[in-house]
Amino acid sequence: MTLRPGKLPAALLAELLGTITHRDPRVLLGPGIGRDAAVIDIGGGRVLVAKTDPVTFAAEHIGWYTVNVNANDIACMNARPAWFMATALLPPGAPEALARTIFQQLTSACTALGIELVGGHTEITIGLNRPVIVGAMLGEAARDEIVLGEGVRPGDQVLLTKGIAIEGTALLARESPSRLAATGLAPDVIERAARMLYEPGISVVPEARAICAAAHPRIMHDPTEGGISTALYELAEAAGTTLRVNPAAIHVFEETRIVCDALGLNPMGLLASGALLAVIAPEHCERITAALTAMKIASQVIATVESGAARVIMVPEGSTVPLPRFARDEIARFYEDAHG
């Protein structure tokens, strides 16, 4: 099978991950579908949380994206993002100013989140036509506070913060404004969509902290490539249970609907950083939503956990109709179609 742009197919990824054997008992959580980061016991009641993630679709503000998407995954484990490294690959012929701009973006994003930039690597790489950055984030937490995805039970609620698809909408507006303008979108709409990178923003660190301060969640997951639909399937796989989803409860931003309608894309499969999924006990739902509301962060219950195999099905109760899946992110489809 020929691989297309985007994530590896889920079946292939599961096959590859299934070959990994852990010999070190200090590895509390290793790689797996729906697992946002690795967790390593470092003794003294503390754990190290590690994550690596690239940014390949964006060119503008790529340094900001890279820090935030990696920090999000650390926060999903209820750990504090603390130390960051970046490998920056620049295309031949790139101006010196590009390296300076990316470095400034990395440092400012780290400063905003209280993260130390502790190392990395930069080079000019043959074969690239745009910059690529691979981030590696380390965080720490108390062993008894880490969120490992344990104890998910039937009746638990799946909470979604903000809405979808913040990152994908901002990325399309920033990387392809002329394509959007050609569809007839007004300049102010494109500008509003571009501003979504910062408002409401792609960081979920504040809401992850707020949720964990209010009550210990069962599991949290950061929807990214493949959109909310892929994230829900990943969440079901990580939790090992059935999720019954109400698609009508999933908030889609007005700018996202307009941009997706203009380009023929589906918001459910569009890059979704900026939203957070949290599985919580029903008795904690009111307390957590109140904590988020106090921070002016919108949230809604979009699914309920049911007993059964790892799958995602839609309301009404008793139905077995699966939530639509996306073979690749709508951003990847858009770019591939645009370039023939």
Asked whether residue 323 carries a pLDDT value surpassing 60, the answer given is yes
248 within domain boundaries:
yes
126: CATH: 3.30.1330.10
DSSP line for 110-146: HHHHT-EEEEEEEEE-TT-SS-EEEEEEEEEEETTT-
207 within domain boundaries:
yes
Q: What is the pLDDT of residues 159-218, one digit of tens each?
A: 999 999 999 999 999 989 999 999 999 999 999 999 999 999 999 999 999 999 999 999
Beta strands in 125-238 (DSSP E): 132-142, 157-161, 219-221
- My answer on whether 62 and 88 are in the same domain is yes
Q: What angle do CA 201, 204, 210 make, to 5 degrees?
A: 125
246: CATH: 3.90.650.10
Shortest CA distance to 235 belongs to which of 38, 32, 65, 78? Answer: 32
- My answer on whether 188 and 135 are in the same domain is no
- My answer on whether 99 and 224 are in the same domain is no
Residue 164 and residue 253 in contact, taking contact as beta carbons nearer than 8 Å: yes
CA–CA distance, 147 with 141 (Å, rounded to integer): 10
26 within domain boundaries:
yes
Average pLDDT, the chain: 94
The two three-digit tokens of residue 204, written as one number: 């979920």
Which pLDDT belongs to residue 339?
A: 60
Which pLDDT belongs to residue 157?
A: 98
Residue 266 and residue 326 in contact, taking contact as beta carbons nearer than 8 Å: yes
11 within domain boundaries:
no
- My answer on whether 172 and 319 are in the same domain is yes
User: Percent of the chain beyond pLDDT 90?
Assistant: 84
Confidence of residue 146 (pLDDT cuts 50, 70, 90): very high
Which pLDDT belongs to residue 220?
A: 96
- My answer on whether 292 and 175 are in the same domain is yes
Give the end of a domain, one of 142, 174, 204.
142
Give the end of a domain, one of 142, 166, 192.
142
Q: What is the pLDDT of residues 215-262, one digit of tens each?
A: 999 999 999 999 999 999 999 999 999 999 999 999 999 999 999 999
Q: What is the C-alpha R_g of the chain?
A: 19
- My answer on whether 223 and 318 are in the same domain is yes
Confidence of residue 132 (pLDDT cuts 50, 70, 90): very high
Q: What is the span of the domain harbouring residue 190?
A: 157-338
CA–CA distance, 206 with 292 (Å, rounded to integer): 9
Torsion of CA 283, 287, 293, 299, to 10 degrees: -20
Residue 72 and residue 223 in contact, taking contact as beta carbons nearer than 8 Å: no
Which pLDDT belongs to residue 340?
A: 53
148 within domain boundaries:
no
Q: What is the pLDDT of residues 93-114, one digit of tens each?
A: 999 999 999 999 999 999 999 9
Which pLDDT belongs to residue 5?
A: 77
- My answer on whether 221 and 291 are in the same domain is yes
CA–CA distance, 181 with 174 (Å, rounded to integer): 12
Which pLDDT belongs to residue 274?
A: 96
287 within domain boundaries:
yes
Residue 237 and residue 130 in contact, taking contact as beta carbons nearer than 8 Å: no
Q: What is the pLDDT of residues 147-170, one digit of tens each?
A: 998 899 999 999 999 999 999 999
- My answer on whether 118 and 169 are in the same domain is no
Q: Furthest-apart CA pair in the chain: how many Å?
A: 60
- My answer on whether 109 and 164 are in the same domain is no
- My answer on whether 121 and 177 are in the same domain is no
Residue 86 gets the label, from left (phi > 0), alpha (psi -120 to 50) or beta, of beta
150 within domain boundaries:
no
Q: What is the pLDDT of residues 7-41, one digit of tens each?
A: 888 888 889 988 988 899 999 999 888 787 999 99
- My answer on whether 213 and 324 are in the same domain is yes
CA–CA distance, 81 with 68 (Å, rounded to integer): 10
Give the end of a domain, one of 142, 173, 196.
142
CA–CA distance, 83 with 221 (Å, rounded to integer): 21
152 within domain boundaries:
no
- My answer on whether 116 and 171 are in the same domain is no
Please give the tally of structural domains in the chain. Answer: 2
